Amino acid sequence: MIKFFLMVNKQGQTRLSKYYEHVDINKRTLLETEVIKSCLSRSNEQCSFIEYKDFKLIYRQYAALFIVVGVNDTENEMAIYEFIHNFVEVLDEYFSRVESIDELPKICSALEPQQACFSPDSSFKGAASTTPIY
Amino acid sequence: MSDIVEKTLTALPGLFLQNQPGGGPAAAKASFSSRLGSLVRGITALTSKHEEEKLIQQELSSLKATVSAPTTTLKMMKECMVRLIYCEMLGYDASFGYIHAIKLAQQGNLLEKRVGYLAVSLFLHESHELLLLLVNTVVKDLQSTNLVEVCMALTVVSQIFPREMIPAVLPLIEDKLQHSKEIIRRKAVLALYKFHLIAPNQVQHIHIKFRKALCDRDVGVMAASLHIYLRMIKENSSGYKDLTGSFVTILKQVVGGKLPVDFNYHILLQVLQKYILLLYLTMILTISAIFIFLSLAILFECVHTVYSIYPKSELLEKAAKCIGKFVLSPKINLKYLGLKALTYVIQQDPTLALQHQMTIIECLDHPDPIIKRETLELLYRITNAQNVTVIVQKMLEYLHQSKEEYVIVNLVGKIADVLVLNTVDTYAPDNAWFIQTMNAVFSVGGDVMHPDIPNNFLRLLAEGFDDETEDQQLRLYAVQSYLTLLDMENVFYPQRFLQVMSWVLGEYSYLLDKETPAEVIAKLYKLLMNDSVSSETKTWLIAAVTKLTPQAHSSDTVERLIHEFTISLDTCMRQHAFELKHLHENVELMKSLLPVDRSCEDLAVDASLSFLDGFVAEGLSQGAAPYKPHHQRQEEKLSQEKVLNFEPYGLSFSSSGFTGRQSPAGISLGSDISGNSAETGLKETNSLKLEGIKKLWGKEGYLPKKESKTGDESGALPIPQESIMENVDQAITKKDQSQVLTQSKEEKEKQLLASSLFVGLGSESTVNLLGKADTVSHKFRRKSKIKEAKSGETSSTHNMTCSSFSSLSNVAYEDDYYLNTLHDRGDKELKTFSLNSELLDSESLTELPLVEKFSNCSLSTPSLFADNSMEIFHPPQSIAASVAKESSLASSFLEETTEYIHSNAMEVCNNETISVSSYKIWKDDCLLMVWSVTNKSGLELKSANLEIFPAENFKVTEQPGCCLPIMEAESTKSFQYSVQIEKPFTEGILSGFISYHMMDTHSAQLEFSVNLSLLDFIRPLKISSEDFGKLWLSFANDVKQNVKMSESQAALSSALKTLQQKLRLHIIEIIGNEGLLACQLLPSIPCLLHCRVYADVLALWFRSSCSTLPDYLLYQCQKVMEGS
């Protein structure tokens, strides 16, 4: 079950956040700071899954942009990992230059309606299948 | 699938573009949110958090002005909303814009509406009050002819919707299930899914439609409906067995490539975990051999499934191969997944751990802490008596490195679980190590650990093991080590650790010969004077001092302490100090009160405080007011404050009218207040010292009540390994041996570590071959040694449970003899009773008591018991006695309970030794669950214990006499639990386990669960028509519905009879074509039903003080009416 979806740049500024369970606005900032901190501190050799409190963070880095998904432990990490990539590919299809930071929030706000595609309790509904580059 | 996605994705951006004159994505973007762009750029350029705050505040104030200005057009509003969303995402409060978002959703054109809805779904949460304003808009949009509007409305409904307003949109959404567009159908299913999550009662009637959705021709709709089923099946797996076929078909289509490959595999697989569908899983395992990440994710789920369903060797083999692929992968993410998979399977198949032992060792030293942690988790699962030292050491190492509180709590819990919680099977090899490890654990995690851990640790110390001298040594060692720790200056220990120390010192200081109690007291006193010690700890300390005082002949320290703390500001401390002071004056009394080393003995406590009756009576005769319980006093206070009494009869009705509690004659003094002598005494005697002393004992007194969580997964682990794995082991060790020569030194070290880690898993030879001597024998290893011996005999039989049986073969044979003779006799005798012959044909007589029990329960004929059928056959000697005793016990029990209605017995779980069946007795004041446990084997079971897990909606209380130290062969015992409801629910599961010991080694545990429905807590409410009238008006929640009656129940009276029988409603009166019924949900939530018949329609009208009860009862009524 996905708890939240975050897009953060390397400076730790939030680009996009979407919570699937209500979190108090003050707590959000706190949570985001901690999440970003734990993601930024990791190197390439380390795995993309972090256990944070009682949930798991799965992150992927695209240039200067981090996408972090928080899930509870019923979720399959690898599937979420691929899902992030899928999401980025979808963005890429519709808007060019996803990796450029300036454009992103705009893109995401515009794209937000499609986020309805993944409703809170189901990890991936309707996301198209693509073979990753790896 | 992908074409739908395309549609979903194209639909809305397309709209954005249409509305922008000039077209072209670039132009659209520029005009759509250029100001947002500049805001974002502005923020990115800033470096400090402070500047960002300033900028956003500026932005927000300008936005506030814009949105509230009347001249703002909807188009501008939309643009403002986007910026507001962004501000809120950054964590700044933008609540002033919420109402405007709702307005935008209401008034705007398609695009503006979209943004409005989006903003609403991001800003608000389910219980937000403004959400009610949205309902009307949603209803309007759902009825719209424009597909996009319907889509948006459905989307927002599936994201947030107030629970109370579901009925308003439910019919509309149900209609949408038949819509011609698949996207609408899909979204409708998702919306219903949301409803199912937040209010399962309200969508109960459309389950049929879900089935239709499952068979929808569109994949998306089908996939969406799977979510609903996944959830429903998780709640009640047996109810949907008939759907297995459909799931299999879906899976087949997926596997056959007929459907586009999509992500839904694993959802399906989770559904399938409930069933046994080996064939298709095999197919998936083969197909997923392609090496892409996504298929690996699916593969992982497959492996998980394979191990959670009934094991089949062929599949296990394949799964093991897959795990190998994961674990050996150079990619770190895959390795992680592999470790996780290993953790799942390790309990079932420890050979896998042996295969991958070198990888595991590597992972243990991995630079990535996450991998390390996962490895520790894995090791934790394979802990046994032999490798415990190494594993705990590794865990401690990690513990010292980690800073995060959550990690510490988790890890400390695990170490303690290995060492302490597991009282039956503690793995600790020797005293010194045990105490030192616990010291380390306490000093690192002392303040964050679960409170059970110190409690269990103390209990372990107090109750000890089998060997008394060992216990004494353990305690002595603990006392000594704590004294050394306390001697160190300037070291701060966590409070919990200090508490543990003070208890141990208080109880067991007498074991010391060198140091006198006075010296210990002096140390404790030093701690007491320390400011950094919390007041809770101080009470522990002073309790310890109190315990030590009678042993120390005279001590200045005690006097000083009394002097110091009788003036303490902390009332609790003062109380303790006073107690100590008074006891100190009477040393003889003190000695008898605080005997040495008696912490494990139970105290008989007079809970009713009857010894105070005289005191109370005296007080009352002198004119004191009788004691009123707290809630009564509060009620009276409230009623005095009220001028107008708006809800006059409800309260008194439920509290005094039905509980029927009467006040003791001498004390009630004519008032109708229920005064209780005991409580009065308690409140009025603060000069009585006896009460306070009990408090001292409270710390130990409640220790024995703590339940041990026997982590039997790990406990049962060592049994199968030895026998099953010997072959594999030898193969591995041979290979190891041949490699030894070429190995580098580093490798050797790793090997050593591996061998010490996996020592318990393999046979002894592994260790020896690797050149490491077997670890010193320890007292706790007694068990494992026996097992090793056994494994020799039983290695050919691969049945783990057999091992304990066959080793006891002599006993078993003897018993068999008895059994057979008994069987023959019983057979004949019982046939004359014309009982079910199938049951009698069962091979061993071990089932006989069960048969008796079963027949009696299922036939529910008390007469069979009444004439004591059991005593007709006289089984020989020892067994005979026990069986007869049991049967008479059972019969008396049943006689007692037959006055209440009870359900048929249903077997909930069984294995070869024991079988548990349960039935419900609907008593007037509670639901009585009876689990009757039958020991089928010819062996005596020790400390059979049945425990019920705490459930969130119920309060379960054990009836007295349920703990059994010994359960004789072939006997049946009943465990009774009364269940009270704490909060209304629809379906609940009560689960628990039965644990027992066979002989002295083999302990086993069997889990079971029973479904409870709210109906089990519904009881008739016997009131008069007049009361009904009064109550009817006082209840706010009502539900009305018309139900069609079938031919058979055309008359009102017969229809009501059915309701009375099936739902336990009470018929108050039938007047013409109207009927009044009443019932109550235990303990005392009344619900009233008014029925009226027109032609063949029955109009039901429920009212209750509880909001969910009418809904639920209505549903049950419908079911009953349809069913009959």
Q: Is the pLDDT of residue B305 over 60?
A: yes
Q: Which of B334-338, B726-730, B751-755, B921-925 has the lowest mean pLDDT?
A: B726-730
pLDDT for the residue B379: 81
Q: Which of B204-218, B501-515, B798-812, B893-907 has the lowest mean pLDDT?
A: B798-812
pLDDT for the residue B961: 54
* φ, ψ dihedrals at B645, nearest 5°: -95, 105
pLDDT for the residue B661: 40
Q: Beta-carbon neighbour count of residue B239 at 10 Å?
A: 13
A1 touches chain B (CB under 8 A): no
Q: Which of A18-32, B142-156, B283-297, B1021-1035 has the lowest mean pLDDT?
A: B283-297
pLDDT for the residue B294: 60
Interface of A with B in 50-109 (CB under 8 A): 50-54, 76-79, 81-83, 90, 94-95, 101-102, 105-106, 109
First vs last C-alpha separation in chain B: 44
**Mean pLDDT computed over every residue of chain B:** 68
The residues with which B989 forms a beta bridge, in sequence order, are B1011
Question: Per CATH, which fold does A2-99 belong to?
Answer: Beta-Lactamase (3.30.450)
C-beta atoms of B297 and A26 within 8 A = no
pLDDT in tens, B140-172: 998 888 888 888 888 888 888 888 888 888 888
pLDDT in tens, B1004-1043: 777 777 877 777 888 888 888 888 888 887 777 777 777 7
pLDDT mean over B383-409: 77
Q: Which of B268, B229, B218 is nearest to B248 (CA)?
A: B268
* φ, ψ dihedrals at B260, nearest 5°: -60, 145
C-beta atoms of B294 and A114 within 8 A = no
Q: Which of B242-251, B397-406, B624-633 has the lowest mean pLDDT?
A: B242-251
Q: Which of B332, B329, B327 is nearest to B342 (CA)?
A: B327
What band does B646 get if pLDDT is binned at 50, 70 and 90?
low
For an interface test with B, the pick among A5, A18, A27, A109 (most B C-beta atoms closer than 10 Å) comes out as A109
Nearest to A82 among B125, B194, B293 (CB): B293
Q: Is the pLDDT of residue B129 over 50?
A: yes
Domain spans, chain A: 2-99
Number of H helices, E strands in chain B: 52, 16
Q: Is the pLDDT of residue A111 over 70?
A: no
What band does B601 get if pLDDT is binned at 50, 70 and 90?
low
C-beta atoms of A46 and B332 within 8 A = yes
A4 touches chain B (CB under 8 A): no
What CA–CA distance (Å, rounded) separates B1107 from B164?
Answer: 10
Nearest to B292 among A51, A113, A132 (CB): A132
C-beta atoms of A46 and B406 within 8 A = no
pLDDT for the residue B803: 37
What CA–CA distance (Å, rounded) separates B997 from B995?
Answer: 7
Nearest to A109 among B33, B93, B260 (CB): B33
Record the tokens describing residue B749, joined without a space. 């070290």
What band does B317 get if pLDDT is binned at 50, 70 and 90?
confident
Q: Is the pLDDT of residue B677 over 50?
A: no
First vs last C-alpha separation in chain A: 26
What CA–CA distance (Å, rounded) separates B330 from B288?
Answer: 19
pLDDT mean over B705-722: 39
Q: Which of B277-286, B381-390, B748-757, B841-850 has the lowest mean pLDDT?
A: B841-850
The CA angle B778-B787-B710, to the nearest 5 degrees, is: 75
What CA–CA distance (Å, rounded) separates B997 from B942?
Answer: 5
The CA angle B1091-B1095-B1097, to the nearest 5 degrees, is: 50
Selected residue with higher pLDDT from B1028 and B669: B1028
Question: Which residues are within 8 A (CB) of B412 and not within 5 positions of it... i.e. 6 or more apart?
Answer: B399, B441, B444, B445, B448, B449, B450, B453
pLDDT for the residue B719: 40
What band does B546 get if pLDDT is binned at 50, 70 and 90?
confident
C-beta atoms of B89 and A78 within 8 A = no
pLDDT mean over B782-797: 39
Q: Which of B340, B118, B330, B292 is nearest to A85 (CA)?
A: B292
Residues B771-791 as b/e (b if ≥16 CB within 10 A, e otherwise) read: eeeebeebebbbbbebbeebb
Taking every pair of C-alpha atoms in chain B, what is the biggest distance, in angstroms? 102
Q: Are B935 and B914 in contact (CB under 8 A)?
A: yes
The residues with which B1098 forms a beta bridge, in sequence order, are B1043, B1093
Instruction: Give the gap in angstroms from C-alpha B288 to the nearest C-alpha of chain A.
Output: 14
**Which whole-number Å values give the CA distances from B789 to B782, B786, B798, B803, B1113, in the listed order?**
11, 5, 15, 10, 60
What band does B34 get if pLDDT is binned at 50, 70 and 90?
low
Q: Is the pLDDT of residue B811 over 60?
A: no
pLDDT for the residue B798: 39
pLDDT mean over A35-43: 85
pLDDT for the residue B465: 66
A41 touches chain B (CB under 8 A): no
Q: Is the pLDDT of residue B786 over 50?
A: no
What CA–CA distance (Å, rounded) separates B266 from B300?
Answer: 9
pLDDT for the residue B266: 45
pLDDT in tens, B477-493: 888 888 888 887 777 78
A124 touches chain B (CB under 8 A): yes
C-beta atoms of A25 and B93 within 8 A = yes
Share of chain B above pLDDT 70, in %: 62
Selected residue with higher pLDDT from B30 and B553: B553
Share of chain B above pLDDT 90, in %: 0
Full-model pTM: 0.55
What CA–CA distance (Å, rounded) separates A15 from B85?
Answer: 11
Tell me which range, A122-131, B265-274, B282-291, B994-1003, is most confidently predicted by mean pLDDT.
B994-1003
**Mean pLDDT computed over every residue of chain A:** 70
Record the tokens describing residue B682, joined without a space. 């308690």
Pairing mode of beta strands A2-9, B941-948: unpaired
Q: Is the pLDDT of residue B445 over 70?
A: yes
* φ, ψ dihedrals at B921, nearest 5°: -120, 120
In B509-610, where does DSSP find H-type helix? Answer: 517-528, 535-548, 556-565, 571-585, 587-593
pLDDT for the residue B1036: 74
pLDDT in tens, B763-781: 433 333 333 333 333 433 3
C-beta atoms of B29 and A106 within 8 A = yes
Q: Is the pLDDT of residue B879 over 80?
A: no
Instruction: Give the gap in angstroms from C-alpha A92 to the nearest C-alpha of chain B.
Output: 13
* φ, ψ dihedrals at B477, nearest 5°: -60, -40
Nearest to B337 among A16, A28, A78 (CB): A78
pLDDT in tens, B58-97: 889 988 888 888 887 888 888 888 888 888 888 888 888 8
